């Protein structure tokens, strides 16, 4: 055991289950199931994390009652027919020595979607509306409360029959048990509402029902927010009171933060990189002082060093490292060997993990596109060695080069600049985006570990390709800022985002044109206003950050609002003169005139750098164009296409 991790790799016994280490993959929706049951994709996904050495996997939420179908792809544990699927994932996880718990779930008023676009009826303790999803729930009648409570116990029995080691009651993030606990949500005057004891009764009855239907060795835990971080949510004091009241009847408590009912509270469900590392740990530490059972915690614990520190300082006993394990399922094994430089570190971008969930797509990772695609890319075949020339050392080229070399090809990577990384080198310069540079570090290690020959400061043309004579050319030459045509008179300073990030002098009064409604326009606006500039952000969309993962968008919106950035939605650039920018409302067509401007900053997207691809298309070569060189998009598409092409050549 590495001396760095004396605490992280200590076993932990919880009732009849022993965790081999203190690393946990928390319950998170993968959108891999398609019909409410465990399928082969989900089994392969969880097996990859178990094989990577994690101590505990908590399966994504399973509905305990028909009224718990809050999405079209939620797992359901309401019928005995579900047992076979759970047994498959249990067998796959246990094969590698990991423990498996299941989350038992009812959303209450947190209803988001239903089949065919129709909304299901939401049930809650009282008719108190949900702000984020604009849902007005129906108050639960006693007969349905009884049915739901029984559903928790029946679901737990099914999990034990399937061979799982335990269950976790989800009372976090403002879901149904939390709604009963919350005096601002629970307005009942019967046995399930009123004073604290009656508001606790639902959770208490759920615990008792589960305990009455499983064996003494079966683990029963509780997930709850240490604070729901919202005016209408559970306070820290209320959460601590509930935890303390039931701690003698549960086996562990899993502490998280935030709620799902408000945009500000929901940011903490999958906190973006602007949140500090392990920032939830102090909440867990306060719980740990009050209870005698193990305390789990999750929230921006990205590296084993961070998890070790949390446990060593007595703040928690187990650390959830979910996104870290999506990014690198082998993290525990690598940490156990002391191979820290080999860990592909999560950058908390949220783009392909929780971002995919919000769009209804299967989970993945921009750095590790194998995640969620284990059945397709989990095992790559060896290739008949060919000479591969990869041109462009951004994310697409780096991924293609490393995968091709891993498969046995002889690979040389050519980069025109002095450093690998492409646009990620600029992205990391934006406020709150420094961790995005980890993408470069991680891909750089993969390139080195695979034995790729790298030639920097080397611009490739047709003649050099002909001279090298490769069997395969992968063109990943990226893109450059797009400058749209528009009427312009006078001497108004016009810059693109790249020029601003590279240090161009900018006037005091600025309009930022945000065509993509992504993180570039937001980041430029924040950077400039923090430097003292007056900024108006003109967005070609419904809102700033419209194309971003929801929690990243909402976190950025909060920051821009606090900084006083003026946001103009529904805007397109129409023209400019010496001190005026002319915009047009894209819905009404009406003009919007912004006067007294010194600088216009264009965040207008990118255009492919495709000259090399055009120049060599008539050569007798196997040529593949990937990433922004094919079509400017995001790092996710770039890295995935690097994997896809390199896996097939």
Cite the active site residues. 175
Rounded CA-CA distance 411/397 in Å is 11
Strand residues in 51-208 grouped as ranges (E)? 56-63, 75-76, 99-105, 123-124, 138-139, 166-170
Please choose, from the candidates 305, 237, 231, 228, the residue with its C-alpha nearest in 3D space to the C-alpha of residue 267. 228
Beta strands in 140-218 (DSSP E): 166-170
Strands 591-595 and 580-585: antiparallel
For residue 101, give the nearest of 280, 296, 266 by alpha carbon: 296
User: Could you say which DSSP state residue 322 is in?
Assistant: H
Helix (H, G, I), strand (E, B) or coil at 331: helix
| Bridge-based pairing state of the strands 453-455 and 410-414 | parallel
Could you tell me which of 316, 305, 152 has the C-alpha nearest to residue 220?
A: 152
User: What does DSSP assign to residue 488?
Assistant: B
For 381, list phi and psi in degrees, rounded to 5. -80, 155
Which residues are registered as beta bridge partners of 100? 57
SS3 (DSSP) at 16: coil
The beta-carbon contacts of 75-78 under 8 Å, at least 24 apart in sequence, are 75/33, 75/36, 75/37, 75/38, 76/36, 76/37, 77/102, 77/104, 77/154, 77/155, 77/158, 77/159, 78/151, 78/154, 78/155
Alpha carbons within 13 angstroms on the beta-carbon side of residue 558 total: 14
Strand partners for 13: 18
**φ, ψ for residue 60 (rounded to 5)?**
-60, 165
Separation CA 36–CA 574 (nearest Å)? 49
Instruction: Kindly state the tokens that stand for 170.
Output: 């989800």
């Amino acid at each position: 055991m590495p001396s760095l991790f004396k605490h992280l790799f200590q076993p932990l016994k919880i009732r009849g289950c022993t965790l081999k280490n203190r690393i946990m993959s928390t319950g998170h929706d993968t959108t891999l199931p398609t019909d409410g049951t465990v399928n082969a994709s989900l089994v392969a996904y969880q097996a990859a994390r178990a094989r990577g050495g994690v101590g505990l996997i908590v399966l994504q939420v399973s509905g305990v009652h028909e009224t718990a179908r809050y999405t079209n792809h939620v797992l359901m544990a309401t019928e005995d027919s579900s047992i076979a699927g759970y047994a498959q994932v249990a067998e796959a996880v246990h094969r590698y020595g990991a423990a498996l718990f299941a989350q038992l779930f009812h959303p209450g008023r947190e209803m988001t979607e239903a089949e065919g676009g129709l909304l299901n009826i939401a049930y809650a303790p009282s008719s108190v509306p949900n702000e984020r999803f604009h849902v007005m729930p129906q108050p639960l009648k006693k007969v349905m409360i009884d049915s739901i409570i029984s559903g928790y116990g029946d679901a737990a029995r099914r999990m034990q029959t399937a061979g799982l080691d335990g269950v976790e009651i989800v009372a976090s993030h403002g879901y149904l048990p939390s709604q009963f606990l919350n005096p601002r949500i629970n307005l009942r005057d019967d046995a399930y509402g009123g004073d604290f004891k009656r508001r606790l009764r639902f959770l208490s009855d759920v615990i008792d029902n589960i305990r009455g239907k499983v064996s003494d060795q079966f683990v029963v835990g509780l997930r709850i927010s240490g604070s729901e971080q919202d005016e209408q949510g559970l306070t820290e004091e209320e959460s601590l009171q509930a935890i303390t009241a039931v701690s003698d009847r549960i086996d562990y408590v899993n502490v998280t933060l935030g709620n799902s009912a408000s945009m500000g509270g929901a940011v903490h469900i999958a906190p973006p990189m602007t949140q500090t590392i392990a920032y939830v740990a102090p909440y867990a530490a306060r719980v740990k002082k009050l209870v005698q059972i193990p305390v789990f915690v999750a929230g921006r614990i990205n590296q084993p060093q961070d998890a070790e520190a949390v446990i060593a300082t007595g703040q928690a006993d187990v650390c959830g490292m979910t996104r870290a394990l999506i990014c690198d399922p082998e993290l525990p094994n690598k940490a156990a060997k002391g191979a820290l430089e080999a860990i592909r570190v999560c950058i908390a971008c949220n783009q392909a993990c929780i971002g995919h969930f919000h769009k209804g797509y299967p989970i993945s990772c921009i750095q590790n596109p194998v995640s969620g695609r284990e059945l397709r890319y989990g095992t790559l075949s060896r290739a008949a060695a060919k000479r591969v020339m990869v041109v462009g050392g951004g994310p697409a080229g780096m991924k293609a080069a490393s995968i091709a070399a891993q498969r046995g090809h002889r690979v040389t990577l050519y980069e025109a600049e002095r450093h690998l990384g492409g646009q990620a080198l600029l992205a990391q310069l934006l406020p709150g985006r420094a961790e995005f540079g980890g993408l470069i570090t991680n891909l750089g290690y993969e390139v080195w570990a695979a034995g790729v020959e790298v030639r920097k400061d080397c611009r490739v043309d047709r003649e050099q390709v002909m001279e090298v004579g490769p069997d395969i050319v992968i063109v990943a030459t990226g893109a450059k800022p797009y400058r749209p045509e528009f009427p312009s008179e006078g001497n108004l300073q016009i810059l693109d985002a790249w020029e601003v990030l590279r240090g161009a002098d900018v006037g005091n009064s600025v309009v930022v044109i945000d065509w993509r409604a992504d993180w570039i326009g937001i980041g430029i606006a924040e950077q400039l206003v923090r430097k003292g500039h007056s900024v108006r952000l003109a967005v070609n969309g419904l809102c700033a950050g419209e194309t971003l993962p929801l929690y990243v968008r909402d976190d950025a919106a909060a920051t821009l609002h606090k900084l006083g950035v003026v946001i103009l939605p529904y805007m397109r650039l129409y023209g400019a003169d010496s001190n005026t920018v002319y915009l047009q409302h894209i819905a009404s067509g009406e003009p919007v005139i912004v006067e007294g401007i010194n600088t216009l900053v264009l965040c207008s997207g990118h255009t492919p750098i495709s000259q090399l691809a055009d120049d060599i298309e008539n050569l007798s070569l196997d040529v593949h164009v990937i990433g922004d060189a094919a079509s400017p998009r995001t790092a996710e598409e770039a890295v995935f296409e690097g994997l896809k092409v390199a896996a097939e050549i």
